[in-house]
Amino acid sequence: MNLESIIDQIFDIGRFVFRLMVIACGGHYYHIYCGGGGQWQLIMHQHMMALCNYGLIEQLDEIRVGIVGPPDQRKAVKEILDNSLVAAKIKVVVTRTNAWEQATLTEMYKASQTEDAAYLYGHTKGSADPSLVKQMWCRSMIFFNIVAWERCLAELEKVDCVGTHWLTTEQFPQIADQNNPDGYPYFAGNFWWAKSSHVRELGEPVREHRYQAETWIGKREGMTVYDPNPGWPDPSKFVITF
């Protein structure tokens, strides 16, 4: 091996270490809706196990959790997390009896004002509607964002956001509807990675209806994205390997 190859490898290692440091500065924002019965338990368990089994948990300083639901269920969420493999990383940043994902996203927005970081956002998709399609969709998003986290970070160096099923009005004009009259692009399903420099320019999430939580990420003009699984979120496109 010549000197040039050795130097290239050193720089590759340095870039990889830098990516891990970027994760540690920010963290993972996870919105848990526990108001729809006990469906949240399996979804949350699958999510946390993916963080542990594929190595991402070792790079995260914190998992910043928002919990929405009745008091008894919020207490149950905290008890399970306190006795889980991820307990040391958990920081509950907001609790509400009634709220949408904006409650947790607002905490991310606030943190972005003073942090230079990469953020991962996810939620208990399917806890309100535990249909098979929603379960498959959630697990597919976990695969692309958590199982394949190293690829996400490598791509995030080049763009503002990384996530699956990036929908735009150019490709899908129907997304400009009554819930999204401005036609903001978004990651269908609302799992993604984003730089704090992008998040801080979005403005605080609006809370007129729940769909605004999904379109919030696409509000900045000129943003760049990487989508490893493009297209409409059809079950034929879902990838489940864990």
Domains contained in the chain, CATH given: 3-237 (3.90.550)
CA–CA distances in Å: residue 4 to residues 1, 7, 229:
8, 5, 35
What pLDDT is stored for residue 238 in this prediction? 98
Average pLDDT along the chain, 242 residues, taken 10 residues at a time: 41 45 66 91 97 96 97 98 97 98 99 97 96 96 98 97 99 98 99 98 98 99 98 96 76
Q: Report pLDDT for 3.
A: 37
How many C-beta atoms lie closer than 10 Å to residue 79's C-beta?
A: 10
Q: Give pLDDT, residue 38.
A: 79
Task: Say what the pLDDT of residue 26 is.
Answer: 61
HSE-CB of 16 using CA atoms within 13 angstroms:
9
The strand pair at 27-33 and 63-68 is best described as: parallel
